Each structure stands twice: as structure tokens, then as C-alpha cells.
């Protein structure tokens, strides 16, 4: 495999040269396999950042209770049969599958539309490139992609019966057992010539219970087919050139006579608008038939993004972890500007927010820090969705809002942008969108958009147990209210500021001081509409979609008040008691099992928990703890992410932690944890640099002894985004032992 060798060498050279020449190619540190196993569900195929086309293999795997299905990303390490390559995927998601549209599969010999899966060998996944050999058909498939076009190169053996199978009705099948499976609405195929096929796939439901979406394609082949057929509902119609949509699966077969190692190339333009638009996307993005050139262009695009951050370390694995984390953070949401079939607008259009509940904490703050204009575009797309589609989404996929996880966390993205001074956003309209979330019940659409139980919350001060996820929603509504309050204050809306600042304390209405566990008193606890505490759960009862707490338990959620940790410490009985509670939380960290214990590394409610020591004056405990969490849960193996990557949420958490800072999303605040790199240099969108240096940093020297921010002493373990956004330097001196540094002047809380 000559090509692979070239890449390996270039990566090696880069390693050698990287200290000398920062901001060079860094994509060779990305391993798309990291997080592809162990339920990480990351997408392994080629794509560009935020790419509409995510071209990847769809592989059958066994799911308990559902038989053989796909994973959420289409890919599966252990899956036995490869079915082909489809063009639209999501990354790192859980729940019911979504997309998996427009599948192509090369074959040789007789083809059975019902049983065509093959085992696979010689698989390669790199940035902008995926290759695999199908054992059954002896065809080598290589894939790359532009933003809207999938580029396939199939190398056949000598055969009179070579062919390419197109399934216009294909989609990821997952989530059958819990009612979230996608449903076919219809599909269509039209063979225009021996080198052109068009069609579409129309599918509804899936994870977000969304309305029907349509993925159109236009495919061009570099080699004319010798003959062709269409098929509908598994019946092949030889010589037919069209299958109109009658609500069934349709497809086509292109037949070739191939000599040994003959390559057939296919460009598949994708559009959510029309096949003609898909055709135009090919013309615009991928004029040439040079596969290597296209692959290199995609790699170049990634390098352009990834090399905006330069990290210095002798540990190559750490760089691999870091850049792969960054890579995963740039896969979603999907940029579908120009591809919105629902309304016409000058605003950007992004889809596949999956969900903002997952990504608001770390992924979007990462974009804001490094790729600010991208975050501005994303925020503008959210506001545009409000303008034309009633509510900003918490989650959205297939052009439809849903499913809301905890609150209207897009409010936090607005506040985050506002307090960090992002320009180019209509904050007055964004504010209206926030107020809509906070005031207008979505009624029957509580799972789709708006805030769950908002009528309860606005009348009795908490979401009652009449609603699902009542306790966690109450907590999260409060943080969103604080987001609104901050924007209100900035826009001079003082009455609104006071109102939502007060509401931000509503979590206290669910503070059950009587509840006690392991010697600690006081937990946020579900309460009925008429004020009775729920009795059918324990402090460690892990909550579900229909339970009291979403993806965590009362213990963890009772620490999840990032807007007012000061008040939380009071409620918990003061600093010492609070620290003891944190110590208990993390005591058995290396015994963690997903869904049990006091700290769940794999879900977002615990993202901030390790940093709470900073408010309590013990930042050194955060430093050692975070390093221990990474050590235990993240690695460069295929199962190297603890559970679903959650659209890059886990990966961006990791990326921040490796750099040694952590955002309190929605606030103008970075907490300082413990850098893994001796130096991190970020080239921001304004071309200014933000440097983090960690003098003496090593596996043992993990504790900060002193700090300078922009050349001035920094005694506290946090700083503001606005301190560094015009360029900045954070200079840390590390040591082996905890120091007094950062133990006073805790990060902001509402009740100061």
C-alpha cells in the first residue's frame, strides 16, 4: 500500500520537525479509530470539518434484543458483514440511529439484494481516507470526501460480472427496541446515462423522532456501465432505467467487465434540496477525477483546522489523543448552509445538534476559543431556526427539532457568545428566542423543543414530578435562566435581569435538606406538584429519559449548579463538608461503572464535578483528579473514549483538559486545571495567539506553583476569555507538590 506509506512517512517527518515549525500539518496525529469501539460510536470515514457528507462503511453488528443492525455511526469494529458505503452519518451518538443514506457497494459475481454483506480485510481509516477490501467480492474500496461529495474508487479483480450496487433507500437501522428506529417513507432512482444516476432517500423518525427528511444524490461514474438494472423491493428489473417513488426501497445496478486491478471511480454529490443541486455540488467542489488529489485536499483542509493549535510534548500518544479529540470536536454540527429545504434565509444553516445539552459545556466553548467565526455562524443558525421554526433547538437532526434532553441549553450558547464579546450576532432577536424558551410551553412538544415543565417551573418554582426528568430539568432551567440574566444585563434589560437571576436559584426549591447519604445532608430531590418529596428512588438511582434525572443520579446532579457554586457550598454545610463530599464522590474513581457510582465519567452532568475543588480552594485536587480520570478513561485504542463521544462532547472535554483549562460554559470564565503539554499555542480567528506554557511540566510535576497572565501575576485559578481574546499568555510554573496557588478568590458565583 504505497499511499499509506507516504502518509506514515510524512507523519514521521512532521514529528521530527514539529518543534521547529509550529502550525504545520497535524492531521497525521488523528486516529479516526479512537472511540470507534466500546460504544464510542465515532464516525471513522472521510469528511471535512462540519461536512455534510460523512462517507463511511455500514457494517452489521449484533444488538441485544434487536438482532443484527448498524451502530449509530454505521461503523463497527466487531461487526461481521460490510454492506457498503453510505454518505450521511453522525458521530458519537447514542439512541436510535439516524441517516445512513444513499449506499454504494461494489461486487463481483451474482448479486443478491437480500444477502450481499461481506467480511472485510485490510481496513485503513485516516483523515480524509477510508479503504477496505471485501473478502466476498475481492474488491478494494477507497473513499474520500469533500463537503458535499463522496468520492469512491473501487479496484476490481478481473471479472465479467463486476458491478456497483446502489441502494437509494438504505438507512441506519438502530433503536428498534425502543421505538426510535428510522422508517422509510420512499426512495427513487433514475439512470440518466451509463455514467449518471440520480435519486433520493426519504426517511422519517430515528433518534430525534424527526419528520421526514430527504437526501438527494447525483452520481457520476468515470467508466460507462456495460449494462444496468434498477430494482424495487428486492426485485431486479433488467434494463430498466427508472423506479419512481411508491414508498418502497429502490436502487440500481451498474455492470462492468473488469480486468484485474481495474479501478472504477464514482463521485456522489449529496443535497438535502434536490438532485440537480447535488449535481451542482459536484461541479462546484470536485471537478477532477484525481482521487489522490481529492484525498490530499481533504487532508489539507483538516490540517488547516488542526494546525491552529500547536502543542508541545514528547509524548506522541498524548498528541494523538489531543488532535483526535480536536478532530472529533469538528465533526458536528453539520454545516448545511445552502441546503435548507424548509425556508430561505441569508443566515447560515446548521443541523445535527445532537444535542446541545451534550455539547454546550465544552465543544462550543472550544469553537469559540479557536474558531470563533464558526461559533458565530452556528449561533446565527440557531437564532434563524427560532425565527422560522418557532424554537431554537436543544437537539436537531434531519431538519427537525428534537429531542430535548434537559433544558433549552442553546440559551447558554447565546450567553457564552455574549459574555465573550462575539460580534455579528443579533442579540436582541437571540434574546427573544431565549425568552420564548423560558416562557412559552411547547405543550405536547416537550420532547421536541422549548423547556420541559416550564409551566410548573414558572408557577411553583420547580418542575413537578408530573413531568419526566423533573429534577434534572429544574436544575438545568436555572443555569439557562442565568444565561438569560447575563444577556439581559448586557442589553440593559434590568427587569429581566433581576427576574431571571432570581429564577436561576430555583434549584434550591428542590433542595431536600432532610435527605442524607454517606454522612452528607441535602440533595436536589424530585417533588410533586403539591410539594411532596418523591420516595421511589435512592441517592444513587441512575435516571433515565422518563425518570427524575437524565443520565445521572441525585448525588451527581446535586453538585451540578455551575451558576452558583458558592451557594451550593453553603447548602452542603460549608467548605469543609463540601470538600469531604467531593472527596467521597471521587474516592472510588477507578471502580467506576457506567450508570452507577457517585461519579459518571461518561455523561455530561459530571463534566464539571472535578473542577468544583477550585471553588472550594483546593485546585490541586482538581489537577491530580483530572489527570487520573484521563488516565483511567481515555486512551488511543479503538475503545479509547468512555462511552458515546456525544458528538464530540467527551473529546472536547478531553482537549480542554489536556491544554489545562476548562470553560464554565455561558460565563466569561476559564478554570485552570493542569496542562499536559509544556506549551500550547492557539492561533485564534483574529490571528492573535493565546499561549499556555507550563514550565517544568511532567507526569510528576502536575501542580501549579505560580502563574502569570499576560505577564502579570495571577493568584486565582481562573481567568476571563476577554483577558486573552486579543492575544494572551498564561505562564504556569509546575511542581511535584500542591501549593497555595489558586486557593483563594474562587471563580464567580451568582450569590456573591
**By C-beta, is 342 or 494 nearer to a copy of itself?**
342
In the complex, minimum distance from the CB of residue 164 to a copy of itself, in angstroms, rounded to a whole number: 21
Q: 36 with 651: CB under 8 angstroms?
A: no
**By C-beta, is 18 or 187 nearer to a copy of itself?**
187
In the complex, minimum distance from the CB of residue 395 to a copy of itself, in angstroms, rounded to a whole number: 17
Which one of residues 77, 440, 539, 689 is an interface residue with a copy of itself (CB under 8 A)?
440
Q: 433: part of which helix (H) or strand (E)?
A: helix 427-439
Q: Does 444 help bind a copy of itself (rule: CB under 8 A)?
A: yes
Q: Which residues within the stretch 338-357 sit at the binding site for a copy of itself (CB under 8 A)?
A: 338, 341-344
Which span (236-244, 574-582, 673-681, 722-730) binds a copy of itself, by CB under 8 A?
236-244
Q: Does 245 help bind a copy of itself (rule: CB under 8 A)?
A: yes
* Sheet bearing 242-243, strands edge to edge: 120-126, 129-134, 139-145, 149-156, 262-271, 210-221, 196-205, 182-193, 242-243
Q: Does 184 help bind a copy of itself (rule: CB under 8 A)?
A: yes
Q: Does 280 help bind a copy of itself (rule: CB under 8 A)?
A: yes
Q: Does 273 help bind a copy of itself (rule: CB under 8 A)?
A: yes
| CB-count burial class (<10 Å; 0-12, 13-18, 19+) for 622 | buried
The 10 Å Cβ neighbour count of residue 712 is 8
The 10 Å Cβ neighbour count of residue 3 is 15
In the complex, minimum distance from the CB of residue 235 to a copy of itself, in angstroms, rounded to a whole number: 17
Q: Does 442 help bind a copy of itself (rule: CB under 8 A)?
A: yes
In the complex, minimum distance from the CB of residue 241 to a copy of itself, in angstroms, rounded to a whole number: 11
Which one of residues 75, 391, 523, 653 is an interface residue with a copy of itself (CB under 8 A)?
391
Which one of residues 274, 296, 521, 584 is an interface residue with a copy of itself (CB under 8 A)?
274
Give bridge partners of residue 524 from the DSSP assignment.
511
Q: 36 with 289: CB under 8 angstroms?
A: no
Q: Does 193 help bind a copy of itself (rule: CB under 8 A)?
A: no
Beta strands, E only, 73-209 = 81-86, 103-108, 120-126, 129-134, 139-145, 149-156, 159-167, 182-193, 196-205
**By C-beta, is 389 or 426 nearer to a copy of itself?**
389
Which one of residues 112, 121, 183, 688 is an interface residue with a copy of itself (CB under 8 A)?
183
**By C-beta, is 6 or 342 nearer to a copy of itself?**
342
Question: Who's near 328: CB < 8 A, 6+ residues apart?
Answer: 34, 35, 42, 91, 92, 645, 648, 650, 651, 652
Q: Does 211 help bind a copy of itself (rule: CB under 8 A)?
A: yes
In the complex, minimum distance from the CB of residue 106 to a copy of itself, in angstroms, rounded to a whole number: 26
For 14-28, b/e burial (b = at least 16 CB within 10 A) is: beeebeeebbebbbb
| CB-count burial class (<10 Å; 0-12, 13-18, 19+) for 580 | middle
Which one of residues 29, 75, 156, 200 is an interface residue with a copy of itself (CB under 8 A)?
200
Q: 360 with 405: CB under 8 angstroms?
A: no
Please report, for residues 48, 129, 214, 329, 367, the alpha-carbon distance to residue 332 in angstroms, rounded to integers and kept in the order given: 10, 18, 19, 7, 11
Q: What is the DSSP letter of 310?
A: E
Q: 663: part of which helix (H) or strand (E)?
A: strand 661-663
Which span (274-282, 318-326, 418-426, 561-569) binds a copy of itself, by CB under 8 A?
274-282
- Find the DSSP H helices in 588-644: 612-615, 619-633
Which one of residues 244, 289, 538, 736 is an interface residue with a copy of itself (CB under 8 A)?
244
In the complex, minimum distance from the CB of residue 310 to a copy of itself, in angstroms, rounded to a whole number: 39
Q: Does 403 help bind a copy of itself (rule: CB under 8 A)?
A: no
723: which 3 cell numbers? 483577558
Round to whole Å and give the CA distance between 595 and 616: 27
Q: Does 727 help bind a copy of itself (rule: CB under 8 A)?
A: no
Q: Does 287 help bind a copy of itself (rule: CB under 8 A)?
A: no
Which one of residues 147, 249, 277, 396 is an interface residue with a copy of itself (CB under 8 A)?
277
**By C-beta, is 23 or 529 nearer to a copy of itself?**
529
Please report, for residues 152, 356, 491, 584, the alpha-carbon distance to residue 451 in angstroms, rounded to integers and kept in the order given: 43, 13, 23, 33
In the complex, minimum distance from the CB of residue 219 to a copy of itself, in angstroms, rounded to a whole number: 16
DSSP assignment of 214-266 equals EEEEEEEESS--SEEEEEETTEEEET--EE--SSS-EEEEEEEEE-TTEEEEE
For 221-242, b/e burial (b = at least 16 CB within 10 A) is: bebebeebbbbbeeeeeeeeee
Q: 680 with 311: CB under 8 angstroms?
A: yes
Round to whole Å and give the CA distance between 365 and 376: 11
Q: Does 68 help bind a copy of itself (rule: CB under 8 A)?
A: no
In the complex, minimum distance from the CB of residue 567 to a copy of itself, in angstroms, rounded to a whole number: 31
SS3 716: coil
Q: Does 170 help bind a copy of itself (rule: CB under 8 A)?
A: no
For 454-473, b/e burial (b = at least 16 CB within 10 A) is: bbbbbebbbbbbebbbbbbb
DSSP assignment of 434-477 equals HHHHHH---GGGTTTSS-TTHHHHHHHSS--TTSTTHHHHHHHH
In the complex, minimum distance from the CB of residue 548 to a copy of itself, in angstroms, rounded to a whole number: 22
Binding residues for a copy of itself, total number by CB under 8 A: 41
Mask for 445-474, x = binds a copy of itself (CB under 8 A): xx---x----x-------------------
Which one of residues 247, 421, 574, 727 is an interface residue with a copy of itself (CB under 8 A)?
247
**By C-beta, is 480 or 750 nearer to a copy of itself?**
480
Q: What is the DSSP letter of 314?
A: S
Q: Does 196 help bind a copy of itself (rule: CB under 8 A)?
A: no
In the complex, minimum distance from the CB of residue 277 to a copy of itself, in angstroms, rounded to a whole number: 5
The 10 Å Cβ neighbour count of residue 649 is 28
Which one of residues 6, 17, 78, 276 is an interface residue with a copy of itself (CB under 8 A)?
276
Cell 461518561, located at residue: 602
Round to whole Å and give the CA distance between 538 and 520: 14
Q: Which residues within the stretch 312-341 sit at the binding site for a copy of itself (CB under 8 A)?
A: 338, 341
Round to whole Å and give the CA distance between 665 and 652: 13
In the complex, minimum distance from the CB of residue 275 to a copy of itself, in angstroms, rounded to a whole number: 9
630: which 3 cell numbers? 484521563
In the complex, minimum distance from the CB of residue 94 to a copy of itself, in angstroms, rounded to a whole number: 24
Which span (43-51, 210-218, 251-259, 373-381) binds a copy of itself, by CB under 8 A?
210-218
Q: Does 539 help bind a copy of itself (rule: CB under 8 A)?
A: no
Q: Does 186 help bind a copy of itself (rule: CB under 8 A)?
A: yes
Q: Does 387 help bind a copy of itself (rule: CB under 8 A)?
A: no
Which span (277-285, 291-299, 537-545, 731-739) binds a copy of itself, by CB under 8 A?
277-285
Q: Does 739 help bind a copy of itself (rule: CB under 8 A)?
A: no
**By C-beta, is 88 or 203 nearer to a copy of itself?**
203
The site for a copy of itself (CB under 8 A) is made up of 183-186, 188, 190, 200, 202, 204, 211-212, 214, 242-247, 273-274, 276-277, 279-280, 338, 341-344, 390-391, 436, 440-446, 450, 455
Amino acid at each position: 500500500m504505497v499511499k499509506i506509506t507516504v502518509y506514515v512517512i510524512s507523519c514521521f517527518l512532521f514529528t521530527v520537525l514539529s518543534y521547529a515549525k509550529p502550525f504545520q500539518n497535524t492531521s497525521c496525529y488523528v486516529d479516526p479509530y479512537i472511540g470507534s469501539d466500546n460504544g464510542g460510536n465515532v464516525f471513522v470515514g472521510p469528511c471535512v470539518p462540519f461536512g455534510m457528507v460523512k462517507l463511511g462503511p455500514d457494517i452489521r453488528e449484533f444488538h441485544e434484543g434487536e438482532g443484527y443492525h448498524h451502530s449509530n455511526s454505521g461503523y463497527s469494529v466487531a461487526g461481521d458483514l460490510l454492506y457498503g458505503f453510505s454518505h450521511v452519518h453522525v458521530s458519537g451518538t447514542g439512541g436510535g440511529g439516524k441517516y445512513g443514506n444513499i449506499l454504494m457497494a461494489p461486487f463481483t459475481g451474482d448479486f443478491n439484494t437480500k444477502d450481499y454483506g461481506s467480511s472485510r480485510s485490510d481496513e485503513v481509516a485516516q483523515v480524509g481516507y477510508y479503504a477496505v477490501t471485501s473478502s466476498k467480492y475481492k474488491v478494494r474500496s477507497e473513499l474520500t470526501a469533500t463537503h458535499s461529495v463522496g468520492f469512491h474508487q473501487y479496484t476490481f479483480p478481473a471479472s465479467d460480472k463486476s458491478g456497483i450496487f446502489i441502494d437509494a433507500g438504505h438507512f441506519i437501522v438502530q433503536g428498534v427496541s425502543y421505538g426510535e428506529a428510522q422508517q422509510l417513507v420512499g426512495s427513487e432512482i433514475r439512470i440518466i446515462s451509463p455514467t449518471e444516476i440520480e435519486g433520493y432517500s426519504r426517511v422519517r423518525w430515528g433518534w430525534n423522532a424527526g419528520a421526514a427528511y430527504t437526501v438527494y444524490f447525483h452520481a457520476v461514474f468515470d467508466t460507462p456501465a456495460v449494462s444496468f438494472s434498477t430494482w424495487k423491493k428486492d426485485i431486479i428489473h433488467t434494463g430498466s432505467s427508472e423506479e419512481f417513488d411508491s414508498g418502497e426501497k429502490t436502487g440500481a445496478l451498474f455492470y462492468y467487465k473488469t480486468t484485474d486491478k481495474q479501478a472504477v471511480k464514482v463521485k456522489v454529490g449529496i443535497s438535502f434540496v434536490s438532485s440537480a443541486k447535488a449535481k451542482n455540488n459536484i461541479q462546484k467542489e470536485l471537478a477532477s477525477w484525481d482521487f489522490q488529489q481529492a484525498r490530499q485536499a481533504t487532508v489539507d483542509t483538516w490540517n488547516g483546522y488542526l494546525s491552529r493549535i500547536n502543542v508541545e510534548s514528547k509524548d506522541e500518544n498524548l498528541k494523538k489523543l489531543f488532535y483526535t479529540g480536536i478532530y472529533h470536536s469538528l465533526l458536528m454540527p453539520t454545516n448545511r448552509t445552502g441546503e435548507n429545504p424548509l425556508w430561505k434565509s441569508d443566515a447560515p444553516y446548521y443541523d445535527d445538534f445532537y444535542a446541545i445539552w451534550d455539547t454546550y459545556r465544552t465543544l462550543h466553548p472550544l469553537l469559540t476559543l479557536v474558531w470563533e467565526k464558526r461559533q458565530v455562524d452556528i449561533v446565527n443558525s440557531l437564532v434563524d431556526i427560532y425565527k422560522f421554526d418557532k424554537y431554537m433547538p436543544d437537539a436537531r437532526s434531519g431538519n427537525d427539532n428534537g429531542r430535548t434532553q434537559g433544558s433549552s441549553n442553546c440559551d447558554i450558547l447565546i450567553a457564552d457568545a455574549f459574555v465573550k464579546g462575539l460580534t455579528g450576532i443579533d442579540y436582541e432577536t437571540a434574546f427573544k428566542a431565549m425568552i420564548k424558551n423560558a416562557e412559552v410551553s411547547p405543550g405536547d412538544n416537550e420532547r421536541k423543543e422549548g423547556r420541559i415543565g416550564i409551566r410548573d417551573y414558572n408557577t411553583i418554582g420547580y418542575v413537578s414530578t408530573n413531568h419526566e426528568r423533573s429534577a434534572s430539568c429544574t436544575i438545568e432551567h436555572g443555569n439557562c435562566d442565568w444565561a438569560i440574566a447575563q444577556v439581559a444585563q448586557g442589553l440593559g434589560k434590568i427587569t429581566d435581569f433581576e427576574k431571571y437571576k432570581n429564577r436561576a436559584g430555583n434549584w434550591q426549591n428542590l433542595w431536600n435538606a432532610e435527605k442524607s447519604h454517606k454522612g452528607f445532608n441535602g440533595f436536589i430531590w424530585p417533588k410533586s406538584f403539591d410539594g411532596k418529596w418523591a420516595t421511589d428512588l435512592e441517592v444513587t438511582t441512575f435516571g433515565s429519559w422518563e425518570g427524575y434525572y437524565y443520565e445521572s443520579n441525585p448525588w451527581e446532579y446535586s453538585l451540578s449548579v455551575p451558576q452558583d457554586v458558592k451557594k451550593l457550598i453553603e447548602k452542603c454545610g460549608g467548605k469543609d463538608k463540601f470538600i469531604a463530599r467531593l472527596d467521597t464522590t471521587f474516592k472510588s474513581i477507578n471502580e467506576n461503572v457506567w450508570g452507577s457510582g457517585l461519579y459518571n465519567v461518561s455523561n455530561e452532568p459530571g463534566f464539571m464535578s472535578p473542577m468544583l475543588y477550585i471553588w472550594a480552594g483546593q485546585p490541586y485536587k482538581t489537577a491530580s483528579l483530572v489527570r487520573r480520570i484521563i488516565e483511567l478513561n481515555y486512551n488511543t485504542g479503538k475503545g479509547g473514549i468512555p462511552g458515546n463521544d456525544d458528538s464530540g462532547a467527551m473529546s472536547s472535554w478531553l482537549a480542554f483538559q489536556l491544554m489545562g483549562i476548562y470553560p464554565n460554559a455561558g460565563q466569561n470564565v476559564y478554570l485552570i486545571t493542569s496542562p499536559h503539554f509544556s506549551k500550547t499555542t492557539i492561533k485564534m480567528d483574529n490571528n492573535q495567539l493565546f499561549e499556555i506554557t507550563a514550565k517544568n511540566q511532567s507526569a510528576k510535576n502536575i501542580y501549579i506553583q505560580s502563574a502569570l497572565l499576560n505577564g502579570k501575576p495571577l493568584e486565582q485559578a481562573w481567568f476571563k476569555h476577554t483577558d486573552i481574546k486579543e492575544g494572551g499568555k498564561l505562564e504556569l510554573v509546575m511542581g511535584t507538590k500542591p501549593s497555595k496557588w489558586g486557593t483563594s478568590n474562587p471563580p464567580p458565583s451568582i450569590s456573591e
